[in-house]
Amino acid sequence: MTNNKKLYTVDKEGNLDFSMRNRLHSAKYKPDSAWNHAWLLGLIIVFCMIADYAAFDSLFSAFLYDSALLRSICVIGMVIILEFSPSYLGYNLKRRACGYRVEKIAIVIPLVAFVMGAAINIVLRLATHSLVFPDLSNAVTSIIGSGAAESEGAQNSLVYAWFFGLLPIITSFVAFAASYTMSNPLQSELKKLTKENIEITDQINQLDAVLAEYDSDENYLERVLADDDAKFHTALAMTRKQRDEYFDYVRQRISEHLGTAGAISYDVDYDIKQNDMEANY
């Protein structure tokens, strides 16, 4: 981990990175309140998804009890439709309100998906209210008798069906409102551009330092070329030395295998000299 108390750090390219300026940049765009934190928006959406998951799990468990995989797919699909679609819609509408160009399809698709998901949710709730809440009639029957208990239990189960049918829609509106009010695309882009400006400014300063060193030294180009030439010859000498070691090793192994120590020495020496002449040329 990097110690933020240091005035500068060294990046992966070996350049100085003045972390003080980065800390000032982070402090400048730090949210003023918890309401503006991105993690709070994510927490709200996760809470809404958990509530929807519990509601849809009880719904699909009533008539898809024999297929756990299909039930899980349906539950997760409805949660995605009724939570991610409103959140994405709210974010796109906020971007449009801030002046960004947003395609109509990015608004129409999540809106249509939400409307279809909400309609499917209401229809399934009303069609399966007697399966999802079957025990209400039995509870009322034990209290007021079988005559009026059936109608009373049916009405109660219908009320519960409407309640749990509207619960995912309410959480969808909560996710939409949170995404619209808490997202701030202008500040996010400004923070990103400011950080890029800092990095570009550092690169410009490094290039200016190189140009200043070049202008201050009349023999700068000759010195750099001489340094490169010296490094090249050093690397070439190391390569030749390693090549000779490989030749000696191979010659020794072949001689040991053939039992003739000097059988191939002439050819190997000739090849080495020939390669040296070609390299020098």
What confidence score (pLDDT) does residue 157 get?
61
Between 70 and 11, the higher pLDDT residue: 70
Residue 259 has pLDDT above 70, yes or no: yes
What tokens appear for 14 in the block? Answer: 């070996």
Q: State which of 8-17, 30-39, 64-73 shows the largest mean pLDDT.
A: 64-73
The Cα 88–Cα 147 span in angstroms is 50
Cα-only R_g, the chain: 37
CB atoms within 10 A of CB 176: 22
**For range 17-26, the mean pLDDT:** 60
* Domain-wise residue ranges, the chain: 31-183, 217-280
- Give residues with Cβ within 8 angstroms of 217, minimum separation 6: 223
What confidence score (pLDDT) does residue 152 get?
47
**For range 15-26, the mean pLDDT:** 60
pTM, to two decimals: 0.56
Percent of the chain with pLDDT over 90: 19
What tokens appear for 96 in the block? Answer: 């449009």
Between 115 and 211, the higher pLDDT residue: 115
The Cα 56–Cα 134 span in angstroms is 17
CB atoms within 10 A of CB 168: 26
Q: Is 2 helix (H, G, I), strand (E, B) or coil?
A: coil
What confidence score (pLDDT) does residue 25 get?
59
The Cα 85–Cα 118 span in angstroms is 11
Helix (H) or strand (E) holding 31: none
What confidence score (pLDDT) does residue 7 get?
54
Concatenated DSSP letters of 190-232: HHHHHHHHHHHHHHHHHHHHHHHHHHH-TTHHHHHHHHHHHHH
Q: What is the pLDDT of residues 87-125, one digit of tens each?
A: 999 999 998 988 888 899 999 999 999 999 999 888 888
* Residue 93, φ and ψ in degrees, nearest 5: -65, -35
User: Which residues are bridge partners to 16 per DSSP?
Assistant: 10
Please tell me what DSSP assigns to residue 261.
T
The Cα 9–Cα 270 span in angstroms is 54
What confidence score (pLDDT) does residue 59 get?
82
